[in-house]
Amino acid sequence: MKGVFRFLIAAAVFVGVAVSDSTSFKVHVIGDSTVCNYKDNAYPQTGWGQILGSFFDGSRVQVVNYAIGGRSSKTFVQEGRLDEVKKNLQKGDIMMVQFGHNDRYFGSKPREVPFDSLGYWLQQYADVAKGAGATLVYVTPMNMNMGANGRNIFTEYNVVGKMEELAKKNGAVYVNLNAKSYNAYSKSWDPAYVSRYQFKMFLKGEYPNYPDGVTNDGTTHFQESGSIAHCQWIAEELESALKNESYISADNKANLTQLVSALKPRYAFTVKANISNSKGLITHNQQLPGGAPFTLHVSPGSFGKKFVGWYDDDCNKLSVDSNYYGKKTLYRAATYTAVFDGGPACQPTSHGEENPSGNPTSSSSEGPESSGSIDPKLCFDGTADAAWPSPIDMANPEVGDGWTEANHEGFTGQGFFNFDNSAYSTATYNVTSDQSASNARVMIRYSFQGNTDRDMKLTVDNGEYDVTFKSTGSWDKWDTVYINDVWVDALDFKVKLASASADGGPNIDMIAFDMKGVYRTGCKPAKVENDQETGLARSVLGSKITLFPANKKSFNALGRRVPDSKTNRLQKSVRIYSK
């Protein structure tokens, strides 16, 4: 504790600024899905902006998290989100900016930024901070899960170098989270440890929010323990920048001094097992402030012995679950031991007393919540198939160019949407996702009679995908198309279908995601039953899975028998106009 105090005084003398314990300011956090806040039903997925507040004295610092999934340095500006931050910036505040994941340029998505334009967009954040008398902190994007000695894609698409260049140009602060994470993920740590305990890759039953586990999101998004590591590295980089970087302007150095002085003391967080195994997967030692969230992970199979339980440094048994989470760190150094059969009994570890007074945790802004109401009839009220657990009825968009109809056989739900025959026809739906995935699959059920393909663009939040619909041969015959590698973040967003030809689009019956917890905003997630109960037959054709009913009775797109009342022809149709 005394050592930390001495460091802070020395830092203040170094920059010639008096540090006041009563100074109050805000840290405005800007970024993408690796930074943003998540709802409780997405836990343990978190962004580092969700954890950052626990590293600061809450009586002096408020962390406000504006980060939102799927955005790049360009689209955050284009959508007016930087303007919203600008309204709330005050002199002496800090603005932390991390982008890169969605900026990487492949020439296929609106959010992507050609590298020769990246500096233009990143400079806008510096201009806003300067105009408000705030201090900009460029935070380079953490590395992706690329395995041992893997690529560092953010030095290939060199956002790391560009942020350093702009920090020096503007006298701003530069935090190289990329180097810290790359050295850990690709150099120091076991690849299996990185995948299992840092990124979003869960086993079945490991967390209540993911009973089936997660296997399709292990390269980009992070679980809580991964974001905790990022915050530790950010704190270390802020301290290092204050001490070592001469290019930071005098005003920014004064603000940085205040920020560093508001960091809470960090204590040794030691984790060990009572048996040795160099390949055993167990939570690494860290330096964490009191009141921060923590998780104790251990993989019993990697130690080859029966797991008995987690014990604290007084040898109190904490849990028999190998995953121990949802707790807060102590305001002192602490030791935790994973005890296995065949090893020695827990041995107490001496420790000091807690001293939590005067170090409340900073508050962070809440993540976006679902809002709005919807006619319950428009919500999916059946039981979804496990392969497509998130079906959405497309008959009634929030805004559309066309008609809601039910005058053909075989549709599901309330009907289908019939697009105007125009190259400008669209239909937009408000959708909520409780989870995220970097490569979700989407299917769309449709029909149309004709000899010419109908092309459309599908927009899911900030991603755009080209979709070609082949004729089904009849307005009463339905088929499905599939879109692979769809990026979905845990937030409210819009799904939009837009015609790309004068014929407009086909009749659209429903859309479904291969991940749970995606639904019309204002509804609830669909109930899901086991695959074996659906009566589906499956045919794997290349990378596509075609679903078809086991017989020619009336079935919907998920393989369920449709009641007669659902297939009756209705004379009524509803016209929906764009606004």
| CATH superfamily label, 2-264 | SGNH hydrolase (3.40.50.1110)
Q: pLDDT tens digits for 292-330?
A: 999 999 999 999 999 999 999 999 999 999 999 999 999
Alpha helices in 62-173 (DSSP H): 73-78, 81-88, 115-132, 153-156, 159-170
Decide yes or no: CATH 2.60.120.260 for domain 376-576: yes
Sequence-separated (6 or more) residues with CB below 8 Å from residue 52: 27, 29, 63, 65, 231, 234, 362, 364
Q: How large is the angle between the packed helices 224-244 and 250-261, nearest 10 degrees? A: 130
Q: Is the pLDDT of residue 513 over 80?
A: yes
pLDDT band at 381 (very low <50, low <70, confident <90, very high): confident
Distance CA 47, CA 34 (A): 5
Q: pLDDT tens digits for 425-435?
A: 999 999 999 88
Q: Is the pLDDT of residue 367 over 50?
A: no
Q: Is the pLDDT of residue 448 over 70?
A: yes
pLDDT confidence of residue 108: 80
pLDDT confidence of residue 23: 61
Q: Residue 446's CB: how many other CB atoms inside 10 A?
A: 27
Compute the average pLDDT of residues 367-376. 59
Paired tokens of 58: 């809450």
Lowest mean pLDDT across 117-131, 150-164, 354-368, 546-560: 546-560
Average pLDDT score, the chain: 86
Percent of the chain with pLDDT over 90: 73
Domain assignments of the chain as residue spans, ordered by start: 2-264, 376-576
pLDDT band at 148 (very low <50, low <70, confident <90, very high): confident
* Alpha carbon of residue 337 to chain centroid: 31
Residue 133 near residue 68 (C-beta atoms within 8 A): no
Q: Which is it for strands 94-97 and 25-30: parallel, antiparallel or unpaired?
A: parallel
Q: pLDDT tens digits for 382-437?
A: 889 889 999 999 999 999 999 999 999 999 888 999 999 999 999 999 999 988 88
Q: Which is it for strands 390-393 and 323-328: parallel, antiparallel or unpaired?
A: unpaired
Compute the average pLDDT of residues 60-78. 96
Lowest mean pLDDT across 61-65, 187-191, 557-561: 557-561
pLDDT confidence of residue 372: 55
| CA-based nearest residue to 265, from 233, 237, 291 | 291
Q: Is the pLDDT of residue 4 over 60?
A: no
Q: Is the pLDDT of residue 541 over 70?
A: no
Query: Which is it for the CA torsion 379, 384, 390, 396, positive or negative?
Result: negative
